[in-house]
């Protein structure tokens, strides 16, 4: 571990190196381009910075990634970025990482967390987008000649404690650990390379993002200005289903051949969502442990191993009732009831769906517990018939049509700047305002409105023009914004404005750079992984 003096000397050296290689004069963007387009300069910066980089992708919460997903084309992959495929194995690993991170922080702050279908869907989208962004960044850095040599990758791996014994790198440990996780050296080293590239570009963007004193003063002033913004979401797919539609309207519409054809086409295109999914019922025995506590984890593992042996000759339900640490299922003999995919913790769910009825799983490790799972029943997928859902689909389509008409009325009211008319339209649609709560105008993100388009639209509001002039569209969802109230507060003298502005500016520049590269790239996401 570095001493404080050693860290200070290293920071000074990095600063002098960056100053030495930074092009003088020109805009910030010109300076950045000068850095990232010069291979020699990049190498000089990297030589100073590389070996202090943390390990980002490997051994976070769950150990090494798995390489069992293959790299073929088409449906066997989660996404494609130009000519590079993102495997389903990498996608599953990233989804698991995100879930464990959410579980970790929920436990840290003492908050309950349930992985309902909507949360699972959001995690899957976050996982695939995270991998796409990482691949785009890697390809963009290659294009700009920000390269990572094989020698640097080797040095990086040799410095990882997971592959050392008595302080020395052991090749045998390296290959054994990769083989145990079905991961090839080439794939593992490719992942390390991408993480080094990510850190390298971040350093470059931070180097050209340091603010002037005038900018710091302006940020201080903005931080004193606090706004509270109201917003409302208009999702035709979700909220159109909630619009009131009478039985008479459904009957009347289905009497028209054109509408009946529309219902049939919609059913054929969305047949799977009307099917009853495969479900299983199971029992579970849980042995809790404290994350990060090796002694607690070993005690729980020993307990679950002992119960696994007992389950071979004793009643599983009785064992659950007597020994399980899960209060919710203990008194029900571990019974979880019937559930479909996406409704339970990922590790437990995968174990249950892989079992034969009556069989008990091997110990399954969750984030805070080991589990034994016994499958008690399985219900196959039940395919829907049009006749059974025709009226339901008709009502949904009519509701969506009505919703679009009401949305047009709302858009007209926004354009005219008439708050009363906006509120009346929202009431008819059954919608109510949500609020961000007060935030400083210097904030990098607006609470609950994190998308860039929404932040830009929000900052176009003013005390004189409190309504957004039009609906703001983000991924097919429309938003209306209203500046509800403002206030001025005292400046926080403890804030490090320079550091904050550097981070905000560099994050924005890097994001814009990646998005610019994305616009000239081919990105295809396998929609099946989002369902």
DSSP string, 197-218: HHHHHHHHHHHT-PPPHHHHHH
The beta-carbon contacts of 248-255 under 8 Å, at least 24 apart in sequence, are: 249/395, 249/398, 250/391, 250/394, 250/395, 250/398, 253/394, 253/397, 253/398, 254/390, 254/391, 254/394
Rounded CA-CA distance 36/294 in Å is 44
Q: What single-letter DSSP state applies at residue 230?
A: E
Fold of 276-379: Chitinase A; domain 3 (3.10.50)
Q: What is the pLDDT of residue 481?
A: 94
Rounded CA-CA distance 432/421 in Å is 14
Rounded CA-CA distance 401/394 in Å is 11
Instruction: Give the start-to-end residue ranges of the domains of the chain.
Output: 18-208+520-530, 224-244+390-495, 276-379
User: What tokens were used for 167?
Assistant: 């302080």
Fold of 18-208+520-530: Triger factor/SurA peptide-binding fold (1.10.4030)
Element (H, E) at 164: strand 164-165
Q: What is the pLDDT of residue 451?
A: 85
Residues 122, 127, 132: CA angle, nearest 5 degrees: 125
| Alpha-helical runs (H) found in 22-87 | 28-36, 39-49
Q: Write out the chain's pLDDT in tens, 531 residues.
A: 344 444 444 444 434 433 343 334 444 334 444 443 343 333 333 333 322 223 333 333 333 444 443 334 444 688 999 988 988 888 888 888 888 888 877 777 666 666 667 778 888 889 999 899 989 988 988 888 877 788 888 888 888 887 888 888 888 888 888 777 777 788 788 878 877 877 778 778 877 777 666 766 676 777 788 899 999 988 766 666 667 788 898 899 999 999 999 998 988 888 877 888 899 999 999 999 887 788 888 999 999 999 999 999 999 999 999 999 988 889 899 999 999 887 888 888 889 999 999 999 999 988 788 999 999 999 998 888 888 888 888 988 888 888 888 888 889 999 999 999 999 888 888 888 999 999 888 777 788 888 888 988 998 999 999 999 999 988 888 899 999 999 988 866 555 656 666 777 777 788 888 889 999 999 998 887 886
Rounded CA-CA distance 247/245 in Å is 7
Two domains, one topology: 224-244+390-495 and 276-379:
yes
Rounded CA-CA distance 351/342 in Å is 13
Q: What is the three-state SS of 460-508?
A: CCCCCCCECCCCEEECCEEEEEEEEEEEECCCCCCCCHHHHHHHHHHHH
Does residue 172 sit in helix, strand or coil?
helix
Rounded CA-CA distance 457/481 in Å is 8
Rounded CA-CA distance 290/300 in Å is 9
Sequence-distant (≥ 6) Cβ neighbours of residue 346 within 8 angstroms: 95, 96, 99, 115
Q: What is the three-state SS of 291-342?
A: CCCHHHHHHHHHHHHHHHHHCCCCCHHHHHHHHCCCHHHHCCCCEEEEECCC
End-to-end CA distance of the chain: 45
Element (H, E) at 394: helix 386-416
Q: What is the pLDDT of residue 492?
A: 65
Q: What is the pLDDT of residue 26?
A: 44
Closest CA to 21 of 55, 44, 50, 2: 44
Q: What is the pLDDT of residue 98?
A: 85
User: Any idea which residue has 């410095």 for tokens?
Assistant: 159
Q: What is the pLDDT of residue 8?
A: 46
Sequence-distant (≥ 6) Cβ neighbours of residue 440 within 8 angstroms: 222, 223, 224, 225, 226
Rounded CA-CA distance 349/133 in Å is 28
DSSP bridge partners of 372: 285
Helices then strands, counting H and E runs in the chain, come out as 21, 14
Which backbone phi and psi does 67 adopt, to 5 degrees? Answer: -120, 35
Rounded CA-CA distance 18/204 in Å is 9
Rounded CA-CA distance 287/325 in Å is 5
Confidence (pTM): 0.41
Which backbone phi and psi does 290 adopt, to 5 degrees? Answer: -90, 120
CATH of 224-244+390-495, one of 3.10.50, 1.25.40, 3.40.50, 2.60.40: 3.10.50
Sequence-distant (≥ 6) Cβ neighbours of residue 263 within 8 angstroms: 254, 386, 390, 393, 394, 397
Rounded CA-CA distance 348/363 in Å is 10
Rounded CA-CA distance 434/258 in Å is 39
User: What tokens were used for 490?
Assistant: 């005292």
Q: What single-letter DSSP state applies at residue 241?
A: G
Rounded CA-CA distance 429/408 in Å is 12
Q: How many of the other CB atoms lie within 10 Å of CB of 217? A: 12
Does residue 510 sit in helix, strand or coil?
helix
Q: How many of the other CB atoms lie within 10 Å of CB of 435? A: 14
User: Any idea which residue has 């983000």 for tokens?
Assistant: 474
User: What tokens were used for 516?
Assistant: 């610019």
Q: What is the pLDDT of residue 76?
A: 66
Rounded CA-CA distance 99/124 in Å is 10
Dihedral of CA atoms 44, 509, 134, 43 in degrees, nearest 10, equals: -10
């Amino acid at each position: 571990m570095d001493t404080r003096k050693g860290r200070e000397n290293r920071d000074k050296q990095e600063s002098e190196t960056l100053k030495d290689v930074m092009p003088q004069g020109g805009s910030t963007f010109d300076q950045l381009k000068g850095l990232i387009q010069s291979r020699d300069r990049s190498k000089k910066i990297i030589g100073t910075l590389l070996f202090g980089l943390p390990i980002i992708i490997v051994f976070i919460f769950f150990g090494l990634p798995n390489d069992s997903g293959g790299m073929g084309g088409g449906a066997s992959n989660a996404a494609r970025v130009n000519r590079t495929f993102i495997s389903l194995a990498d996608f599953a690993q990233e989804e698991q990482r995100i879930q464990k991170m959410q579980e970790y922080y929920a436990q840290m702050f003492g908050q309950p967390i349930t992985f309902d279908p909507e949360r699972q869907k959001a995690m899957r989208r976050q996982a695939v987008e995270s991998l796409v962004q990482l691949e785009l960044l890697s390809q963009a850095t290659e294009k700009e000649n920000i390269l990572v040599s094989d020698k640097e990758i080797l040095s990086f791996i040799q410095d990882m404690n997971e592959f050392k014994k008595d302080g020395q790198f052991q090749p045998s440990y390296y290959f054994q650990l990769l083989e145990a996780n079905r991961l090839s050296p080439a794939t593992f080293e490719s992942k390390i390379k991408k993480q080094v590239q990510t850190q390298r570009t971040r350093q470059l963007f931070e180097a050209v993002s340091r603010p002037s004193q005038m900018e710091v003063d302006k940020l201080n002033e903005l931080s004193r200005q606090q706004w509270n913004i109201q917003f409302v979401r208009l999702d035709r797919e979700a909220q159109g289903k909630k619009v009131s539609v009478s039985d008479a309207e459904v009957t009347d519409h289905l009497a028209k051949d054109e509408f009946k054809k529309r219902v049939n086409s919609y059913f054929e295109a969305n047949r799977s969502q009307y099917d009853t999914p495969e479900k299983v019922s199971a029992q579970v025995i849980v042995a809790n442990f404290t994350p990060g506590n090796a002694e607690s984890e070993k005690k729980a593992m020993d307990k679950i191993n002992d119960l696994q042996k007992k389950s071979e000759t004793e009643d599983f339900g009785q064992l659950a009732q007597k020994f399980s640490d899960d209060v919710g299922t203990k008194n029900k003999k571990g019974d979880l009831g019937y559930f479909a995919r996406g409704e339970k913790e990922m590790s437990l769910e995968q174990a249950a769906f892989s079992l034969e009825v009556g069989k008990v799983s091997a110990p399954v490790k969750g984030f805070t517990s080991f589990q034994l799972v016994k499958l008690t029943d399985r219900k196959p997928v039940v395919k829907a018939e049009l006749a059974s859902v025709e009226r339901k689909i008709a009502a949904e389509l009519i509701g969506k049509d009505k919703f679009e008409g009401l949305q047009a009325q709302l858009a007209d009211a926004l354009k005219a700047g008439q708050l009363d008319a906006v509120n009346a339209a929202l009431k008819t649609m059954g919608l109510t305002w949500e609020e961000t709560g007060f935030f400083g105008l210097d904030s990098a993100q607006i609470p609950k409105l994190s998308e860039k388009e929404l932040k830009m639209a929000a900052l176009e509001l003013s005390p004189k023009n409190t309504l957004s002039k039009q609906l703001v569209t983000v991924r097919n969802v429309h938003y209306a914004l209203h500046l509800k109230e403002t206030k001025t507060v005292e400046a926080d003298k403890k804030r490090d404005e320079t550091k904050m502005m550097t981070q905000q500016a560099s994050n924005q520049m890097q994001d814009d750079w990646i998005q610019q590269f994305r616009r000239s790239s081919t990105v295809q996401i396998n929609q099946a992984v989002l369902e």
